[in-house]
Amino acid sequence: MLSHIKDLAAELAPRLIEIRRHIHSHPELSGEEFQTAAFVAGVLSSNGIHVEENVGKTGAIGELKGNGSDKRILAIRTDMDALPIQELAPLDYASRNQGIMHACGHDVHTTVGLGTAIILSKLSQEIPGKVRFIFQPAEEIAQGASWMVADGAMDNIDSILGVHVFPSIPAGSIGIRYGALTAAADDLEITITGESGHGARPHQAIDAIWIAAQVITTLQQAISRTQNPLHPVVLSIGKITGGRAPNVIADSVLLQGTVRSLHPDSSKELPSWIENIVKNVCHTYGAKYKVDYRQGVPSVQNDLGLTQILQAAAEEAWGSDRVEILPEPSLGGEDFSMYLKKAPGSMFRLGVGFTDREVNHPLHHPKFEVDESAIITGVVTLAYAAYKYWGLSSDTTTNLTPVAVNG
Ligand code: NI
């Protein structure tokens, strides 16, 4: 089966490069993936795959029937949106849409999803259950997965696989991660209200700027003393607004930041932990406060059994020296975690770095480029992992208990 998949992928390679370049030169922003979704739907239906359009606003779903000997449905998710970045890479297929660029490799993801769908459609008689291909919009604004789930994309799904490109891994290799892959990414706003007064007479006022400084310092110190060091938390205040004039004591300060955490319990406990600290500091100095904590996407926790399948599929296909077991998660966010609320899943990192270049620009960089040979690596890995999935007994996949994080 593996050599069959590899042959089909090799045959398909020129078409997949064409598809990727087409998507790359026509990038669309989150929630506006109209042409991309229509293009995806066209490719799927011309390969005999049943398509549903306008799922999750601008998403699309393809569903492939297997031979029916297994009731389980495996989902494969790829995302389609681009970023508001002006492309600076000197490519003849560079973005034709001013100020919009596929700088996060979602053009590659979409192509890998399509390639996997085309190959599995040719092997459908050998696939026991169904495969649902989820082409998601709006990942960059962490909304698309929720839109897809709300529209039923995960109904009856037993397991889900996902992929994201990674420029620091060379093309031809992939990265596998057990447990936490990405962090929970939450938004934080703290308003501190004091009382204005003359800068020369602070005792007659309540200085919101000084109290805000106390709040920030106390939060950063308390993280190191009261949070479990094996459950990393990063709290960054990125914006402070307050004050009117150099000689006027500020009556109000707004702190805005982001909170990243890896352990599922952290994101649940952090709102009250933060509120408590803010409350105590503010009460000590007579200020009022308001804490607005908005939970974003949870941490992606890769399932043990499905991660083993991805690793085994990749090692059989490419050799173990081209499969890197990633020692550390990323503190970036990824809305793949919204699907994991519905079914266990695993996401791997697809190497797209050029081995003959000294610099591979990072994701979201205006000169970000990918080595397109990675498309075939991704397609074969996913198609073969999907095939191997049906050999897995249904009780093997369980949500992996989060493990302590290295590093
Ligand atoms: Ni991305």
CB 170 within 8 A of CB 350: no
Distance 376 CA to ligand 1 centre (A): 19
Q: How far apart are the first and last CA of the chain?
A: 39
- pLDDT at residue 225 in the model: 96
- pLDDT at residue 401 in the model: 41
Chain position carrying tokens 């000294």: 358
Distance 239 CA to ligand 1 centre (A): 24
Buried b (16+ CB within 10 A) or exposed e, 188-223: bebbbbbbbbeeeeeeebbbbbbbbebbbeebeeeb
Q: Is 386 left (phi over 0), alpha (psi -120 to 50) or beta?
A: alpha
- pLDDT at residue 406 in the model: 38
Distance 380 CA to ligand 1 centre (A): 21
Chain position carrying tokens 């997965």: 145
Q: List the one residue out of 20, 220, 207, 206 whose CA is nearest residue 106.
A: 20
- pLDDT at residue 391 in the model: 81
Name the pTM for this structure. 0.88
Residues near 361 by beta carbon (within 8 Å), at least 6 away in sequence: 167, 367, 368, 369
- pLDDT at residue 223 in the model: 95
- pLDDT at residue 92 in the model: 95
Distance 80 CA to ligand 1 centre (A): 9
Instruction: For residue range 216-231, list pLDDT tens digits in order.
Output: 999 999 999 999 999 9
- pLDDT at residue 146 in the model: 97
Distance 237 CA to ligand 1 centre (A): 23
- pLDDT at residue 397 in the model: 46
Residues near 25 by beta carbon (within 8 Å), at least 6 away in sequence: 93, 94, 95, 96
Distance 81 CA to ligand 1 centre (A): 8
- pLDDT at residue 392 in the model: 60
Q: Is 117 left (phi over 0), alpha (psi -120 to 50) or beta?
A: alpha
- Residues whose beta carbons lie less than 5 angstroms from ion ligand 1: 104
**Residue 264, token pair as written in the block:** 């599922």
Instruction: For residue range 259-303, list pLDDT tens digits in order.
Output: 999 998 898 899 999 999 999 999 999 999 999 999 999 999 999
- pLDDT at residue 152 in the model: 97
Distance 164 CA to ligand 1 centre (A): 7
| Weakly modelled stretches of the chain, pLDDT under 50 | 393-407
